[in-house]
Amino acid sequence: MTTAQIISGKQVSDEIRQNLKTEVEALAAKGCVPGLAVVLVGEDPASQVYVRNKAKACEDLGYHSEVHRLESDTSEEDLLALVHKLNAQENINGILVQLPLPKHIEEKAVINAISPEKDVDGFHPINVGNLMIGDDSLLPCTPAGVIELIKHTGIEMSGKHAVVIGRSNIVGKPVSLLLQRENATVTMCHSRTANMKELTRQADILVVAVGRANFVDASYIKPGAVVIDVGINRLETGKLAGDVDFESASSVSGPITPVPGGVGPMTITMLMKNTLLAAKRAHG
């Protein structure tokens, strides 16, 4: 039986979007409309859903949005030419190239080509470096969303032991830096970690981003710990599952995120926040 508090990413996300809307209206009165360009190469079904959701979020908030859909055999050169064009386009403040890209295109070259001021994913090395040294940068969306969700529980991060499972560039590494920034003591676990449960059982805050369905169960969790599940795994049945076995974990955890409806909605909301920030910076 679940007695744990369920952290609703949908609810937190709606609250933040409401605040963004107020800011966008004030900005529009000064003649500035935030603009986001989303580039999708090929027909990956999950990517198509994400891209649609991003365009819809722009529409709901009154942003200008452009979706550029390119054939899966588009050359790297043509994609780079589009990125350069968007870099120079004044009505575009944010550029997002949906990943993964087809194998013949080097992701790094594309990410590096995006102007750091318009890099609303926070993936450009300049923004990654700024995050590392604690300078003000466009923060990667999912990690920023994770921090917002923890803040929303009202549980103080300072002085707590946070354990992150996963060390990807998109989630594990940046989220561990952001947790440190909040003055948590951070341990990172990954596929080669020995005695992982010994470490995770010490966690006051556990962030799971491994990309394996139901990887974490109650045996990994200290009673009452905050559990944030970043995983979105499609099961053979077609159902979505997180990296955390919710049923089991929530029998011992404190506040815990569901999948879907946890971290997912926050990622797009943080993208909208970054686009607004980039627009405000562009308009001085």
What is the binding site for ligand GUN (CB under 6 A)? 96-99, 121, 141-142
- Which residues carry out catalysis? 54, 98, 121
Query: How many Å apart are CA 177 and CA 182, to the nearest integer?
Result: 9
Q: Are 274 and 20 in contact (CB under 8 A)?
A: no
- 168 labelled as ligand-binding? yes
Residue with tokens 């003591």: 185
- 166 labelled as ligand-binding? yes
Return the residue nearest ligand GUN (CB atom). 99
Type of residue numbered 9:
G
> Considering Cα of 188, then 192, then 196, then 199, what sign does the dihedral take?
negative
Helix (H, G, I), strand (E, B) or coil at 157: coil
Q: Which residues neighbour 235 within 8 Å (Cβ) at sequence distance 6 or greater? A: 213, 241
Q: Are 209 and 232 in contact (CB under 8 A)?
A: no
**C-alpha 122 chain-centroid distance:** 10
The DSSP-derived string for 244-283 is B-HHHHTTT-SSB--SSSSHHHHHHHHHHHHHHHHHHHHT
Question: At closest approach, how far in Å is the CB of 39 from ligand GUN?
Answer: 9
Type of residue numbered 8:
S
Closer of 7 and 39 to ligand GUN (Cβ): 39
Cis-peptide, bond into residue 45, ω within 30° of zero: no
**C-alpha 186 chain-centroid distance:** 19
Length of the chain: 284
Question: At closest approach, how far in Å is the CB of 14 from ligand GUN?
Answer: 20
Query: How many Å apart are CA 100 and CA 111, to the nearest integer?
Result: 12
Closer of 12 and 271 to ligand GUN (Cβ): 271
Closer of 72 and 219 to ligand GUN (Cβ): 72
Summarize the annotated binding site for NADP(+) as residue ranges: 166-168, 232
Residue numbering of the annotated binding site = 166-168, 232
